[in-house]
Amino acid sequence: MKTMLAAFAFTIAVSFGAYFVLSEMGFSSAEVQSAPSVRLD
Amino acid sequence: MNLKMIGACLIALLTFAVTPAYSEDEGQRASTGGAQTLDDILARQKGLEVDESFRRENLGSFDNAQPASSSLGTLGGFSSSDIYRGIRYSESDIKVSNNGHAAEILVQDGGMSWLLTREGNMRAYAAYGIGGIIIALCAFYFTRGRMTIEGGPSGQTIERFKSFERFGHWCLAGSFIMLACTGLLLLFGRSVIIPIFGHEANSAIATFSIWVHNNIAWVFMASLVAIFVMWVAHNIPSKLDLVWFAKGGGIVGHGHPSAKKFNGGQKLIFWMTIVLGASVSMSGLSLLFPFEMPMFAKTFAMINTVLPAMGLPTELLPHEEMQLAHLWHAIVAITMIIAIIAHIYIGSVGMEGAFDAMGDGQVDLEWARQHHDLWVEEEQAKGAPIRQVGDVR
């Protein structure tokens, strides 16, 4: 059961990690789809 | 003479009956000055296929421009209708400030069939399929009961799966369950959540669901690769599997069919997970990166080379690619959900001792001998340790 709980914790951690990494790398749809003339922030 | 006359009349009637589709269209088209006819409109309203090339290709031309001295000369060679048709069929050279080819498509009517499919057949089949398998499993449980270890547990255990195998399995399982739940919440949000809980609740649930769905997908894809690498060697089909299926995994006849590490049913689940998992991942990536990973036009072209009779479209607009990816994603996912519900049943309440394999990795030796006799022989020949229940590890 410890392995199962560790896998679930790992899954949650990777999900948050993916969100922050992809956002930082500019992979949000808003950034990808908008032209340079568009100010997002 | 009369017979000849009747024959000639019949041939004439058949000729007019068989050939008029084209000539009739041409005649009607001429009567409307080349515009669509009432038949076209009625056919479109009935959802029938309409050849719209007469409109798609009628986009005006500089050559048609009236001289500037004429009353219509200032319009040039393109009427408003010509220009609108160009936009309507994505034939115009559109300039936009957004990035990407997709933003240049101003009108695309495929969204209607996507919406109707998603709100109609898709939800209905998902509900019937998932509800049906749950009802079938409940009926099986209450008629046949739990599959028990014949003669009872031996009190000795053998390691069935190592820690890294269980870790990979639970990463895949945990992410899949979350993807399935959030995907179903998104699919049934408008038809179930809004009528019961209201728009605001659905908005919050949908926002949470899409966040989880988009980000947990990476764990699913990574663990799918890990599972494939770990277990593919044990899942190569063999003659033993045919015997296993012939005996219904032990349901038909007496005794348990022989099996190595994975039996026929488990191999079926493995390959279903790998093939459908890869497919749902590909369409999922296409959805995660909108308009950047189109794959259906290329897939259709490959299918057409093998099955030319299919005649699938090989030129798709960016939005059509997304609509097809979205529909295919849901179809494959729903198929997987139905199969995995059966897998969860047999791995938990359906079979005594089965959960231990993925719980702490230790399974009862008698259970292992009954379901995976050849694997137990291999493990014992390698000197795998046998533990007594209650041993502190």
Q: Do A32 and B359 touch (CB under 8 A)?
A: no
Residue A38 Cα, gap to closest chain B Cα (Å): 9
Q: Which residues of B touch A29 (CB under 8 A)?
A: 290
- E strand or H helix at B345: helix B318-347
Q: What is the secondary structure of A1-41 as a DSSP string? A: -HHHHHHHHHHHHHHHHHHHHHHHTT-SHHHHHS-TT----
Q: Do A7 and B361 touch (CB under 8 A)?
A: no
Q: Which residues of B touch A11 (CB under 8 A)?
A: 171, 174-175, 178, 216, 219
Reported ipTM: the value is 0.88
Q: Do A7 and B171 touch (CB under 8 A)?
A: yes
Chain B residue whose CA is closest to A6: B167
Scored b (16 or more CB within 10 A) or e, B90-115 reads bebeeeeeeebebbebeebeeeeebe
Partnered with residue B362 across adjacent β-strands are B159
Residue A23 Cα, gap to closest chain B Cα (Å): 11
Q: Do B103 and A33 touch (CB under 8 A)?
A: yes
Query: How many whole angstroms separate alpha carbon B274 and alpha carbon B165?
Result: 16
Residue B151 Cα, gap to closest chain A Cα (Å): 27
Q: Do A37 and B97 touch (CB under 8 A)?
A: yes
Q: Which residues of B touch A10 (CB under 8 A)?
A: 167, 171, 219
Task: Please enumerate in sequence order all residues whose Cβ is within 8 A of that of B310, keeping only pairs 6 or more positions apart, or say none.
Answer: B300, B303, B304
pLDDT by 10s per residue, chain B, length 393: 455 656 555 554 444 444 444 445 666 777 777 778 888 889 888 878 888 888 888 888 877 777 777 776 666 777 888 888 888 888 888 888 777 778 888 888 788 889 989 888 899 999 999 999 999 999 999 998 888 888 888 888 899 999 999 999 999 999 999 999 999 999 999 999 999 999 999 999 999 999 999 999 999 999 999 999 999 999 999 998 898 888 887 776 677 888 899 999 999 999 999 999 999 999 999 999 888 889 999 999 999 999 999 889 898 888 999 999 999 999 999 999 999 999 999 999 888 888 889 998 889 888 888 889 899 898 888 887 888 876 655
Partnered with residue B181 across adjacent β-strands are none
Domains of chain B: 51-93 (no CATH), 110-161+236-388 (1.20.950)
Q: Do B289 and A18 touch (CB under 8 A)?
A: no
Q: Do B99 and A3 touch (CB under 8 A)?
A: no
Report the pLDDT value the prediction gives residue B390, as an integer from 0 to 100. Answer: 67
Residue A24 Cα, gap to closest chain B Cα (Å): 14
Q: Do B167 and A32 touch (CB under 8 A)?
A: no
Report the pLDDT value the prediction gives residue B174, as an integer from 0 to 100. Answer: 95
Of A6, A15, A38, the CB nearest to B219: A15
Chain B residue whose CA is closest to A2: B360
Q: pLDDT > 70: what percent of chain B? A: 91
Which of B251, B270, B123 has the alpha carbon at shortest distance from B188? Answer: B123
Give B229-235 contacts, CB < 8 A, sequence gap 24+.
B230/B164, B230/B165, B230/B168, B231/B165, B231/B262, B231/B270, B232/B274, B234/B260, B234/B261, B234/B262, B235/B262, B235/B266, B235/B267, B235/B270, B235/B271
Report the pLDDT value the prediction gives residue B284, as an integer from 0 to 100. Answer: 95
Of B97, B218, B358, the CB nearest to A35: B97
The alpha-helical segments, DSSP class H, found in B161-256 are 163-188, 194-197, 199-231, 239-246
Q: Which residues of A touch B99 (CB under 8 A)?
A: 32-35
Residue A2 Cα, gap to closest chain B Cα (Å): 8
Scored b (16 or more CB within 10 A) or e, B15-43 reads eeeeeeeeeeeeeebeeeeeebbeebeee
Number of A/B CB contacts below 8 angstroms equals 66
Query: How many whole angstroms separate alpha carbon B122 and alpha carbon B163?
Result: 39
Tokens at B175, concatenated: 């992410």
Report the pLDDT value the prediction gives residue B94, as an integer from 0 to 100. Answer: 83
Stretches in chain A below the pLDDT threshold 70: none
Chain B residue whose CA is closest to A9: B171
CB atoms within 10 A of CB B139: 10
Q: What are B's interface residues with A at a Cβ cutoff of 8 A? A: 97-100, 102-103, 163, 166-171, 174-175, 178, 211-212, 214-216, 218-219, 222, 289-290, 292, 358-361
Chain A residue whose CA is closest to B166: A3
Q: Which residues of B touch A38 (CB under 8 A)?
A: 97
Q: Which residues of A touch B174 (CB under 8 A)?
A: 7-8, 11
